[in-house]
Amino acid sequence: MTQQKGFSKSLESWIWDAACSIRGAKDAPKYKDFILPLIFTKRLCDVFDDEVNRIAAEVGSRKKAFQLVKADHKLVRFYLPLLPEDPDESVWSIIRTLSDKIGEGVTTYMRAIAKENALLQGIIDRVDFNATTHGQRDIDDDRLSNLIEAISTKRLGLEDVEADIIGKSYEYLIRKFAEGGGQSAGEFYTPPEVGAIMSRVLQPEPGMEIYDPCCGSGGLLVKCEIAMEEAAKGKKRTVAPLKLYGQEYIADTWAMANMNMIIHDMEGQIEIGDTFKNPKFRTGGRLRTFDRVVANPMWNQDWFIEADYDNDELDRFPAGAGFPGKSSADWGWVQHMHASLNEKGRAAVVLDTGASSRGSGNAGTNKEKTVRQWFVDHDLIESVLYLPENLFYNTTAPGIVLFLNRAKPKTRQGKVFLVNASQVFEKGDPKNFIPDEGIQRIADTLIGWKEEKKLSRIVDHAELKKNDYNISPSRYIHTSDAETYRPIAEIVEELKVIEAEARETDKALKKILEKIGV
């Protein structure tokens, strides 16, 4: 095990050094759309070579093996139409030995591979390695040549590296890109420790169908498969893989998710498009339902209006809940996820901290609080986890994880389990992180509903109602010695909502006054 960990670390170092070979660590994230497909293609080439070698051992030569594979693509997982002049040379050597018009050559080869493999279409052929911006190459041939050479220094075949190790290293590379990605990073990456907690608590079982409606690079889906496999170790049963489903609306991120799934050797279907307006997973004109749902939607999206909710034909936004207000679609996403669960389904969704408390304690009604109340009153919320600050790459805000359960055990009905893990972290650069023992402690606490001073509490619905449906763990579990404690992030978010609502009211009033000529 130690040897495998060491190999994994050396592969991570190599993979990041390769990324940095273009223009150094600072600029590497700018080139992720070139680097990720190339490393992915290197893995495809080396695995294809291994499969050709296996056939060659039976038929006597690689030349004959290439002929057989060309005649019957089903002999290999992915057919690569790259035939070296010398059949004993590696398939990757065709790309490695490019010396003229390298960008054009790489693009041509990528498109040829995609043309032969429906599963790869739109994934590795979407990038133009010869692209220019204002007459300047996005990645010139010299840098591209350096990158190809750096990638060539390690073999990524079946005999060299297991799927989980190359998968972890690929995820590592995605994380490194996120570190330098600023605001955009949150659109494709969730910190791995958050995903690990979510997947362990959901306890996915072999053969289950798991769904992420805004899957980014696919990390949360991958974490569910890993959690299932780890839980099944040592048990005398055939472990069926999970069936993983995701949707992502940013094309480059959709491609990243597909590469991530394939390189992890996992079964999945990733669709492209805006889930909120056009969810792709449907059955007989209805929303398809799943055993588990995991997600980290973009927080506080403000581009959905009331008409988007009212015009929905999939019964995602029930009467009594519905539109949570234009300033934040957080609870709109929760409603979509709830509608995507089967009758025994469970979900874990990462939300902005303010989603747990906005509107509570304010005079008058608040649309977001109304939706939150609907979920409490229908006994769908199993637990809420308050995370440490500065974990996420696009914000320093802590965030929460909301756990839903459509079939809560009788002993847990009428109650919500709250965990304030704001102090369970270690300082990191550039971001804080939850150590392995912290991940296990939080997951065990949530699974077992273990009450612990300054960490967790079981709160009944009567107390939540008394507190105007504020479900933030920080409201009920104080980690400091002070009698009252409210995180600044929560207060700031509430002020933003109040300001946004005031602006909407002013607009509406202005329209009315204009109509009556005042």
Q: How confident is the model at residue 450 (pLDDT cuts 50, 70, 90)?
A: very high
Rounded Cα distance, 28 and 176, in Å: 9
Mean pLDDT computed over every residue of the chain? 89
Q: Give pLDDT, residue 3.
A: 44
Rounded Cα distance, 494 and 360, in Å: 9
Rounded Cα distance, 431 and 233, in Å: 32
Q: How confident is the model at residue 185 (pLDDT cuts 50, 70, 90)?
A: low
**Mean pLDDT for the stretch of residues 443-465:** 97
**Mean pLDDT for the stretch of residues 75-104:** 96
Q: How confident is the model at residue 184 (pLDDT cuts 50, 70, 90)?
A: low
Task: Write the pLDDT tens digit of every residue in 97-129.
Answer: 999 999 999 999 999 999 999 999 999 999 999
Q: How confident is the model at residue 267 (pLDDT cuts 50, 70, 90)?
A: confident
More confident residue, 486 or 442: 442
> Hey, which CATH number is domain 2-175, 1.10.150.120, 3.40.630.10, 3.40.50.880, 1.20.1260.30?
1.20.1260.30
**Mean pLDDT for the stretch of residues 254-261:** 92
Q: Is the pLDDT of residue 238 over 70?
A: no
Q: How confident is the model at residue 165 (pLDDT cuts 50, 70, 90)?
A: confident
SS3 for 282? strand
Q: Is the pLDDT of residue 493 over 80?
A: no
Q: Is the peptide bond before 398 cis (omega within 30 degrees of 0)?
A: no
Q: Is the pLDDT of residue 6 over 60?
A: no
Q: Give pLDDT, residue 61.
A: 96
Task: Write the pLDDT tens digit of every residue in 393-438.
Answer: 878 899 999 999 999 999 999 999 999 999 999 999 888 999 999 9
**Helical (H) or strand (E) element with 186:** none
Q: Is the pLDDT of residue 304 over 50?
A: yes
**Mean pLDDT for the stretch of residues 300-314:** 92
Among candidate residues 185, 104, 95, 107, the one with its CA nearest the CA of residue 147: 95
Question: For a pLDDT cut of 70, what percent of the chain falls above it?
Answer: 90
Residue 107 and residue 77 in contact, taking contact as beta carbons nearer than 8 Å: no
Q: Is the pLDDT of residue 484 over 50?
A: no
CATH architecture of 181-493: 3-Layer(aba) Sandwich (3.40)
Q: How confident is the model at residue 181 (pLDDT cuts 50, 70, 90)?
A: low
Residue 3 burial (10 A CB sphere; 0-12, 13-18, 19+): exposed
Residue 337 burial (10 A CB sphere; 0-12, 13-18, 19+): buried
Q: Is the pLDDT of residue 247 over 60?
A: yes
Task: Write the pLDDT tens digit of every residue in 363-392.
Answer: 667 899 999 999 999 999 999 999 999 999
Left, alpha or beta for 5 (phi > 0: left; psi -120 to 50: alpha)?
A: alpha
Please give the DSSP secondary-structure letter assigned to residue 452.
B
* Cβ-based neighbours of 456, under 8 Å, separated by 6 or more: 417, 418, 419, 420, 445, 449, 450, 473, 477
**Mean pLDDT for the stretch of residues 40-68:** 96
Q: Give pLDDT, residue 109.
A: 97
Domain boundaries, the chain: 2-175, 181-493
Q: In this structure, how many other beta carbons lie within 10 angstroms of the beta carbon of residue 80? A: 24
**Can you name the residues that pair with 456 across neighbouring β-strands?**
419, 452
SS3 for 473? helix
Q: Which of 250-254, 283-287, 490-494 has the lowest mean pLDDT?
A: 490-494
Q: How confident is the model at residue 483 (pLDDT cuts 50, 70, 90)?
A: very low
Q: Which of 43-47, 186-190, 210-214, 468-472 has the lowest mean pLDDT?
A: 186-190
